[in-house]
Amino acid sequence: MAGRVDLDGNPINPMTICMIGAGGFIGSHLCEKLMSETQHTVLAVDVYSDKIKHLLEPTSLPWNGRIQFHRINIKNDSRLEGLIKMADLTVNLAAICTPADYNTRPLDTIYSNFIDALPVVKYCSENGKRLIHFSTCEVYGKTIGAFLPEDSPLRQDPAYFLLSEDASPCIFGPIEKQRWSYACAKQLIERLIYAEGAENGLEFTIVRPFNWIGPRMDFIPGIDGPSEGVPRVLACFSNNLLRHEPLKLVDGGHSQRTFIYIKDAIEAVSLMIENPARANGHIFNVGNPNNEVTVKQLAEMMTQVYSKVSGETPLETPTVDVSSKEFYGEGYDDSDKRIPDMTIINRQLGWNPKTSLWDLLESTLTYQHRTYAEAVKQAMSKTTTN
């Protein structure tokens, strides 16, 4: 840890980071990295701390004193400004960010992703503090290629599907497709942050994650989350595998996604934190263009990997089709394909993802099996005996 330097060879001084949403999936991995590999201090703000409690206790942990948990709901807590003032940098991760909520709880989604982020941006701007704000790859919406005829050769041309921070348009569906409430709220907060930078000199970085996955993502319904809850695709499929039931493919699972291992992605965020001169004023795609699959292919790969790590024989019919209306309700829509252009992050931070989809699924499903298999088995035997 001694003598750590940034990408330009300058020594990295310890800083205080106000991390909002630190108790979530990404926050927990970022806190872990900052505690084990740096001397920075984290003021961790969230309403939940379960995913970081291994970093908070016991007091004999080597980083004791460098991480403090503040149970604060940023919607209505006057302590937020004080924490931002105490910090050198604020990282804002707080959001409702589960697709099942976008069309069923559009008001909560818009408030969480736009209104609740406003004071964070304002306090950073007014107090001259740097901000790293988490947006989403969903701001791109659909690709231009999606509007071309199925057999058009232009669909193969990267200009029609590659998503670039400084060139691609943001293409959303009609207002009645409430699925776009999340993407639209994230887009507007990006525009506000950008304008604060341009007009008031806010030092900012915007992160657009492309399907970061790994241990501690979301929850397993009925085990460490609500039984009726619908988490993001990774946890939905893990839940089906743990229960030995077919994986549900929404509208055939034809959407294409690029998945990146959380640990690779966190490496990129840590470079942003420690290289402000290279990161300020930029929007960064953070994804792995080499790990593109359809959701159907993801289901097949997860089935195969889960069988390997659990020793269980896969079902004869491992997947079942459901309509998006049945699964998500009215107002659902989706982006067709999401491949990140990596030019800007590569140029500014020299960063590239490393982990293949097979490897990241193996480490994630090993964790899921170790953490949940017994609890799921017990819960299922209780339901059948009742």
Shorter beta-carbon distance to ligand NAD: residue 73 or 127 = 73
Shorter beta-carbon distance to ligand NAD: residue 63 or 102 = 102
Pick from 48, 160, 194, 327 the residue near ligand NAD by CB under 6 A. Answer: 48
Which token pair is 186? 């994230």
Shorter beta-carbon distance to ligand NAD: residue 64 or 73 = 73
Hey, which bits of the chain come out as E strands?
A: 16-20, 41-46, 67-71, 89-92, 130-134, 162-163, 204-209, 212-213, 247-250, 256-258, 260-261, 282-286, 292-294, 319-322, 339-340
Determine the interface stretch with ligand NAD among 88-96, 167-175, 302-310, 339-347 (rule: CB under 6 A): 88-96
Applying CB under 6 A, the site for ligand NAD has a residue count of 23
Angstrom distance (rounded) from CA 197 to CA 121: 10
Under the criterion CB under 6 A, does residue 26 sit at the interface with ligand NAD?
yes
Pick from 15, 17, 18, 23 the residue near ligand NAD by CB under 6 A. Answer: 23
Q: What is the dihedral of CA 211, 217, 223, 228, to 10 degrees?
A: -40
Site string for ligand NAD, 211-250 (x = CB under 6 A): xx--------------------------------------
- Grouping H, G, I as helix, E, B as strand and the rest as coil, residue 67 is strand
Under the criterion CB under 6 A, does residue 264 sit at the interface with ligand NAD?
no
Under the criterion CB under 6 A, does residue 46 sit at the interface with ligand NAD?
yes
Pick from 136, 181, 256, 364 the residue near ligand NAD by CB under 6 A. Answer: 136
Determine the interface stretch with ligand NAD among 67-75, 250-258, 278-286, 325-333 (rule: CB under 6 A): 67-75
Which token pair is 348? 């500014």
Pick from 90, 104, 112, 181 the residue near ligand NAD by CB under 6 A. Answer: 112
Site string for ligand NAD, 146-175 (x = CB under 6 A): ------------------------------
Under the criterion CB under 6 A, does residue 200 sit at the interface with ligand NAD?
no
Angstrom distance (rounded) from CA 102 to CA 111: 11
Using alpha carbons only, give the angle 235, 106, 26 rounded to the nearest 5 degrees.
40
The DSSP bridge pattern shows strands 204-209 and 130-134 to be parallel
Under the criterion CB under 6 A, does residue 21 sit at the interface with ligand NAD?
yes
Nearest Cα to 288, choosing from 238, 190, 223, 214? 214
Q: Read out DSSP for 180-230?
A: GHHHHHHHHHHHHHHHHHHHH---EEEEEE--EE-TT-S--BTTTB-TT--
Q: Which of 102, 123, 182, 306 is the catalytic position?
A: 182
Closest residue by beta carbon to ligand NAD: 24
Under the criterion CB under 6 A, does residue 75 sit at the interface with ligand NAD?
yes
Under the criterion CB under 6 A, does residue 24 sit at the interface with ligand NAD?
yes
Pick from 34, 74, 162, 360 the residue near ligand NAD by CB under 6 A. Answer: 74
Determine the interface stretch with ligand NAD among 17-25, 33-41, 191-199, 368-376 (rule: CB under 6 A): 17-25
- In whole angstroms, how close is the CB of 104 to ligand NAD at the nearest point? 16
- In whole angstroms, how close is the CB of 259 to ligand NAD at the nearest point? 9
Under the criterion CB under 6 A, does residue 117 sit at the interface with ligand NAD?
no
Pick from 141, 197, 209, 331 the residue near ligand NAD by CB under 6 A. Answer: 209
- In whole angstroms, how close is the CB of 184 to ligand NAD at the nearest point? 13
Under the criterion CB under 6 A, does residue 94 sit at the interface with ligand NAD?
yes
CA distances to 48, 103, 172 from 175, rounded to whole Å, are: 32, 11, 9
Q: Read out DSSP for 281-330?
A: TEEEEE--TT-EEEHHHHHHHHHHHHHHHH-PPPPSS-EEEE-HHHHH-T
Angstrom distance (rounded) from CA 333 to CA 184: 13
For residue 182, indicate whether it is catalytic: yes
Angstrom distance (rounded) from CA 76 to CA 142: 34
Note if the bond before 62 is cis, omega within 30 degrees: no
Nearest Cα to 213, choosing from 316, 155, 330, 295? 295
Q: Determine contact, residues 357/365, Cβ cutoff 8 Å.
A: no
Nearest Cα to 272, choosing from 33, 76, 63, 111? 33
Instruction: Show which residues are catalytic.
Output: 182
Residue ranges that bind ligand NAD, judged by CB under 6 A: 21, 23-27, 46-48, 73-75, 93-95, 97, 112, 116, 134, 136, 209, 211-212
